[in-house]
Structure 1
Amino acid sequence: MDIKILKLSKKYFFATIIALALFFTSNVVHSQCAGNDANITICDITNPTNQSLNLFTLLGGTPTPGGFWIDDLGSGGLNSTTGILNVHQIRESGIFTYTYMVTGIPGCVDNTATVTVLVGPYAGVGEDGSRCGDDTELNLFELFNYQFGNVPPQTNGYWFNNTTGTPIAGYTINPSSFNVTAITVYNLTYTIPALGPCPESSISVNLTLVPPVDAGTPQDINLCSNADLSLYTNVNLYNLLTGEDSGGTWTDNNGTGELSNPSDSFINIQNIYNNFGAGTYSFTYKVLPISPICDFKTSVVRITIEDPIDYSGILLQVDTDVCQNQVASSTFTGVLTQSPVLVPNGTYDVTYTVSGQATPVTITVTFNNGIATFNIPSANFPSVVTYSINVTNIVATNSLGICVNPIPTIQDNLTIYPVPTLANSNLAVDDVCQNNSTIAQLNNLVGLADGTYIITYDLSGSNTASSQTTTIVVSGGSSAFSIPGSLLPNSGTTSITITAIQNGTSGCSAPSSVAVSFMVNPLPTAIAMNVSAPNSVCLNQPVVVSISGLGTLTNVTINYDLSGANNSTGNVENLTLVGGGATFTIPQGLLTNTGNTTITITGLANNVNSCGVIVSNVSDVFLINSLPVAPLSTDQTFCESNNPTVANLVPSGSQYFWYDTASSTVPLSSDTPLVSGGDYYVSEINANGCESTKSMIVVTVDQIPAPVLTSGGEQFCGTDNPTIQDLSDNTNASTTVVWYDALTAGNLLSSSQLLQEGVTYYGFDISASTGCISKDVLSVTVTLTNCNETPDFFIPDGFSPNGDGVNDTFTIPDIQFIYPDYKLEIYNRYGNLMFEGNKDKPNWDGKNSTSKIMGDVAPNGVYFYVVYFNKNNKAPKQGRLYLNR
């Protein structure tokens, strides 16, 4: 409630500032059906008439009854139905507005009127009060008289401590913060600030603080009975208090008889122990206050004496080691024993830890004749491991821990053995030949620790056996055992099922159903086997041998020996058979000599089932011929422009073959282009079809690059009469380049031939050492307009177009080179345009080619020309010329 009052104060404060300004500056009357706005100031708050202020009667004009009222600022004093305002119910001073609203009345426009009420300050009726000096909070609004019809104080005031000369924050104080040591009176003032014409209102009250009493802070004595109690035969209880007030009395709470009267404060602790034994004995000190407004205070001093306990020689035994599948159904009991008996009979709190468990466990046990038992939940042993159970503390249930009772090492181990399991394991057995032993491989033995195990298995299918046992050694999740060949006399599919497994150390066992099938394969037969080799081959050529007569076999390994001109033994070849036969090539490294060689098959194995037999009397003979001598040849050079091919190499002929690598077996075709810097190999084949070793040559293809034109090298000035030699001089091969007037079938141009505007010339470079011409060409289109005006540039002043072959046209010499974009205009003396010329139409023959009002032939006389140079911003030039026929 108090917090809400403070929040309303802030709201009213800002509203008051605005309303106060309106209250004193505005009294505009508007004709409204709800009446005209009004205002009123109330400074005498306690006046009884202010409990029923009729706001309707305050409205100006002619307000229409039947409307309703709104408390705009939530002052809390308005009856919105009757319009009666009770100012005594407004808890703060300030300016409040109340709106009267009329709605739904025929002939009257809906409207409102406002009554503004200034409520002046009122501090209430004060009343003196008293408090004990150890109270922690006092609401200062308790220091008011609310009886006999007194109007409560407004809440938007402030307090001031006149005695200390300090303001009070808020409306509560902490009496204990004054730390009074004697009765002290504080004069406090509560003030509501002035508002408008209403002066401030204040009241003063006296607050009396009575000092509390202090029974002191006790200091207990805790003793072990093995201490020297003779030091505690005359203990003054006052020495066990701090800060107590004097004049109090003592009470013996346990009837030890140590206090002779309430003023006696001396006790003999040794007597207490001798008479009553170990225990806790208390004495209460009581101090009365100087005024009933404060409570009396007490302090209790406690003397505690404990006997020590000897835990030496205590042993722990935890039963019993079990297999993992027995944990849930097993009861694990810890037994504590001490002999000879030293631990007194009674209950004790025993704390123990189990390795792997983070939180120590404390349980209550009962020692009787030096023996105590307790159960350890099986949940403490979830894993296959050896657990260490350690008792870390033993404390008598009622002990305060005063005596130091050393705990020896009290520990025992409990082992949870794994149940051997082959779950998720993989059993694989190698296929085997009849009457041979095979290996059974166990992998992914994630449930088995390294060690020795005994397994039991059965065989079924083509071969049968029951309850066969064998010992396996597991390491790293894998193991293997042998199935004796004596159990596998028959070919066909055989299944093995492991029916049980037992740990060789712990004896823990479990059933199993891991099974797998494997094949007992028959031995191959070589009765109809045959070997065939070619009659003769060339040295270093492949010798392809054919094997046949192997019936339905599809994939075999044979062993063979070579004898005669070439000798080797123990050779092996894997063959894929079709129709009982296959071919293979004897490695050339085994056939280094010429002459007759015999191949003899010595063994045969079926790769499908890895079964094999020894072979005899299967052989054949073949002849190895010698090779011709390698041909002689030297390195050769060609021009790139001639597009050389293999056909250009020497030696040539049907007995010679060219290759691009020493190991290639496919000759190059005669039209294969030659590569510069490439290695080429030539061999010769003799009458026996044997090919010699290869001789190598290096081919050089002389590659002449096309000449390169210097930047701007195609640009000349026609007035210089440039020639082919000038064009050559503008390349990087000025002395060796040759030029043609066409790319193909062109004419060779002499170095003195003049260049022509816009003509394309084709240049090739020639090697001075080899005479090879470049394969690529330099194409240059010449321009003769790269000219500057020369000092002797002139425009003729006449011509004679009479057909005598001399000066028959008006021509400006070299202008097409110097000003290639020029324009020429010729006018007669009447200003008629006679002729327009440019580089494509440079000469005027004296005929009218432009004006339609003139004849075709221009008569003798003076004519005028205008030359537009159209270069370098050169201004046009005008002049005259004389035409004389």
Structure 2
Amino acid sequence: MSSLFGQDVSLYQQFNGRFDFTFIGNTLNPMENTFQTQPNILSTSEASLNLSANDSIVKAYLYWAGSGTGDFDVKLNNISFQAERTFSHQRISSGLTLDYFSAFVDITDYVSETGNGSYVFSDLDVSSFLAQHFIVKTNFAGWAIIIIYKNDNLPLNQINVYDGLQGVPQELQITLNSLNVIDDVGAKIGFLAWEGDVGIAVNETLTINGSILSNPPLNPANNAFNGTNSFTGSTTLYNMDLDVYDIQNNIQPGDSSAEIALTSGQDFVMINAVVTKLNSQVPDAVIETDSVTLNCDSRFITVDYTVYNLATATNPLPSETPIAIYANDILIGTTETTTIIEIGASESGTIVIQIPIEIEGEFTLTFVVDDIGNGTGIVSEIDETNNSDEIVIELIFSPETISIPDLFSCNEGLSLGTFDLITHVEEFITNSAEEIAFYESENDAFLLQNQILNPTNYSIQPTPKTIYIRIENEDCFSIISFDLKTRNCPPTIYNFISANNDGFNDNFFIDGLKDIFLNYELFVYNRWGVLLWTGRNNDPFWQGEVTERKSFQGGNAPEGTYYYVLELNDPDYLAPFVGYLYLTR
């Protein structure tokens, strides 16, 4: 005999709270198939549900099974149900390839509405496979409902429902994971199994963690799967078993798994579902980072977080539950809860953390509740794998501060200057992702007020004048400054005078002189070197009059060529400007 394939029994659903479970169901075999003289299957069978008035149904799962490849449309109380999940098993025995199946449907709504009373199962057809299976006496069919119910008078328990379809050719090992054993008081385990025979007890054992389970006389140690129903005491559940065992002394507080082992020297048995009930008065803590506040140019960050004790928990989360904080797996801080967090409640907190200098660029910030700082927890929980929350962040820094040289412009008079601020700074601020704006005071730059709106043609008086640049990236800003200064540029001398009062060239005009070189002196000589006129900053330009030669004082110089000397009296211009000018009338 060899098994070809099946579906391993594994965790399907978990319930935490004041819950318990029960099974109801019945066989469709009219008698033990070992004793049948010809194969036969009933068209219907019946079972009764009798919960107490304080029990409320949480879940009801209908399973049915039989010989063959499967019938997945059945009726319960003449209501049609179709399988939501299916299982199959195949083996070779006596040269025959034999198929077996099981099906599942969640009928919680129907059972909750129907409540206590009779449940009649029908319309399961395995007739076409009976003859083949009768050869090896594995012709069977049956059904069961696994019911999880709540009662406020129950202790806090954890109910685990495992299912699949695994056969026992000689030996079968099933590991029940995701257990959370806090207290073994009242612990029990239930089995939905198919095809066990009461008359075959050859090396047939059922163990948990190495200890044999039995419930004599209903389920003796050497014949666990014998067509019985532990919930009703029936011994006529032909070729199926609905059994429950007390495992209070077979499992220990702290266990997270249990090993189920089945052996059978002759009898073919299939396990379809296993249900455990364990006392589980424990919290279930999770943590979430709600917000992270970053400050420019600072390695201190502020994190708002919330610790939850999930509604699926079965006990409050104690105060002073530790919280560890990591940056790229480096422990950078610890804190703890401050109050007892009831089931379904939460506690919010805020912490300021300094990020170490070795953490650069993007990094993962991780908060872990129930962690003393080395991955070790001090609180037993329903789920020890949901205690962390992480977020990828990056510290923010202001744009790099740079030195910008002073900007010079020609003095337009009394230190008035006109400047192109944009062109000047573009040479030094080359990051196109940064935005720049100009201000006349550092306070304005900080407050984003009174921005200079004409930076390409900016006139200011007096100079020197300090200009402040606000440079912004996506998150931060920097403020730098440079000075605007004017210098006395060389004057432009127009050496032609047409002193006829026609509004054009009526005087000896020198551009860039008045109110710029405040101490200048301008002398006009005739061709023989005689001084005719002297002018200074407060004097009008020469219009051809004679003011220095007494014999001609008050008169006008005739047309002709004259000689000028311009002393700027400026340390940058020690040599005078000299040249000829021409006077016409």
Q: Tell me the TM-score normalized by structure 1.
A: 0.21
When Rg is computed on C-alpha atoms for both structures, the one with the higher figure is 1
Q: Which has the higher contact order (CA 8 A, sep 6+)?
A: 2
Structure in which a larger fraction of residues adopt strand: 2
TM-score of the superposed pair, with normalisation by structure 2: 0.29
Q: Whose helix proportion is higher, 1 or 2?
A: 1
